Amino acid sequence: MPVLHNRVSNEELKQRLMEETFQRTTISFYCYFPIENPQEFRDFLYKHLNALGVFGRIYIAKEGINAQISVPTEQLEAFTSFLYSIEYLNGLRLNIAVDDDGKSFWVLKIKVREKIVADGINDPEFSMEKKGRYVNASQMNELLKDSDTVVVDMRNHYEYEVGHFVNALEVPSDTFRDQLPMAVDMMKGKEEKNIIMYCTGGIRCEKASAYMLHKGFKNVFHLEGGIINYAKQIKETEQESKFIGKNFVFDDRLGERITEDVIARCHQCGKPCDDHTNCKNNGCHLLFIQCESCAADYDGCCGKECKDTIHLPVERQKEIRKGIENGQNIFNKSKARLRPKLGPVNR
């Protein structure tokens, strides 16, 4: 029986990736469709994608698939042929990364989950069969001209912070499951307005659009393929981008630049900056925005405590990471952590 998971250390895998002499293409895709046996489908995918040298992160659930991967560019045709040989995925739109060096992933991980997007929905009457209408980049721009159009960002705060559509509403929550009911509350009284939901690649806003319709809203749209596809279409058709700044992505790049606008600030000094990083203290790994100057001052850490920690003996660092002395040094993307009370950057 073939090995259906990775057995090599992350350090070695990263080194192998950096030593590769061929190009890779970063792709994301998702599809809501019924999967009777997710574990069996997971093993089937792993066997074929591993053989093609695909890296990335894929989630499988009874409701469908959600994938962010990198494919050896020379294997793109073979990969697409394999994917399209699966009935429900035949002809599926693939989002190709806009700003890509091919170093987005270094290992293939395929996991079975209860849902491909954790939504907290327990209503048995809810169904993905009735969802909002797709809009492409041109339609999005046209709808944005209407002052009655309401644009809702269904991403997390750290994504919205570095880039978003002009006048888009942020749903102030750290999780998608909390955002759904909050979005409904925020839109009360706007049941007849045009409401456009958007997200990174389309998977969250597609489910959000179905949820809004389920809650009685009438004119609900969602951006087809999300920001990734929007940016691609804007570039191909030479239209003005109504999305400003960076599009946060969930791989080692941590962002794709869509426009040159820098709308965020360094979380430590407040200078204009939109570069995300993870704290270099292995007992923290806080995701935050840090400029080059602060990265040098704090050795890539989120604060003095973590900077001091990374210079301790390795054994002492391990003791701290055991948890009893961690304090605030835990992996955290919460809106409340380290976000300065600063206004938007003037552009």
pLDDT at 321: 75
CATH number of 10-112: 3.30.70.100
Is the four-CA dihedral 119, 255, 56, 330 of positive or negative sign? Answer: negative
Q: Above 60 in pLDDT, residue 221?
A: yes
Distance CA 308, CA 327 (A): 14
pLDDT at 328: 44
Residue 102 one-letter amino acid: G
Least Cα distance to 170 among 161, 288, 201 occurs for: 161
Distance CA 58, CA 310 (A): 32
Least Cα distance to 202 among 184, 186, 221 occurs for: 221
DSSP state letters, 57-95 = EEEEETTEEEEEEEEEGGGHHHHHHHHHTSGGGTT---E
pLDDT confidence tier of residue 48, bands split at 50, 70 and 90? very high
Distance CA 21, CA 11 (A): 18
**Domains in the chain: boundaries:** 10-112, 133-237, 262-347
Note the pTM of the prediction, 2 decimals.
0.74
Average pLDDT over the chain reads 86
Q: Above 80 in pLDDT, residue 322?
A: no
Query: For the segment 15-32, what is each residue's pLDDT rounded down to a tens digit?
Result: 666 667 788 898 889 999
Asked if 154 and 202 touch (Cβ cutoff 8 Å), the reply is: no
pLDDT at 264: 95
Calculate what percentage of the chain has a pLDDT beyond 70. Answer: 85
DSSP state letters, 84-148 = HTSGGGTT---EE-SS--S-S-SSEEEEE-S-SS------TT--TTS-PEEE-HHHHHHHHTSTT
pLDDT at 192: 83
pLDDT at 74: 95
pLDDT confidence tier of residue 1, bands split at 50, 70 and 90? very low
Average pLDDT over residues 302-307: 92
Burial 284-304 (b: 16+ CB within 10 A, else e): bbbbbbbbeebbeebebbbbe
Question: Taking the C-alpha atoms of 306, 308, 310 and 311 in order, what is their torsion angle to the nearest 10 degrees?
Answer: 170
Query: For the segment 241-250, what is each residue's pLDDT rounded down to a tens digit?
Result: 999 999 987 7
pLDDT at 324: 43
Average pLDDT over residues 180-195: 91
Average pLDDT over residues 325-335: 45
Distance CA 90, CA 102 (A): 25
Q: Above 80 in pLDDT, residue 204?
A: yes
The fold of 133-237 is Oxidized Rhodanese; domain 1 (3.40.250)
Our answer to whether residue 199 is catalytic in this structure is yes
Asked if 94 and 29 touch (Cβ cutoff 8 Å), the reply is: yes
Among the listed residues 31, 199, 266, 291, the single catalytic one is 199
SS3 298: coil
Distance CA 279, CA 261 (A): 25
185 vs 253, residue with greater confidence: 185
DSSP state letters, 161-173 = HHEEETTPEE---
Phi/psi at 210 (nearest 5 deg)? -65, -40
pLDDT at 248: 87
Query: For the segment 5-17, what is each residue's pLDDT rounded down to a tens digit?
Result: 556 666 666 666 6
Q: Above 80 in pLDDT, residue 75?
A: yes
Q: Above 50 in pLDDT, residue 338?
A: no
Q: Above 70 in pLDDT, residue 164?
A: yes
pLDDT at 148: 86
Distance CA 341, CA 334 (A): 15
Q: Above 80 in pLDDT, residue 252?
A: no
pLDDT at 101: 66
Distances (CA, A) of 67 to 49, 78, 82, 153, 233: 12, 17, 15, 21, 21
Query: For the segment 84-114, what is each residue's pLDDT rounded down to a tens digit?
Result: 999 999 999 898 876 666 667 888 999 999 9
Least Cα distance to 25 among 53, 51, 6 occurs for: 53
pLDDT at 31: 92
Distance CA 53, CA 56 (A): 10
Average pLDDT over residues 209-225: 93
Distance CA 177, CA 209 (A): 14
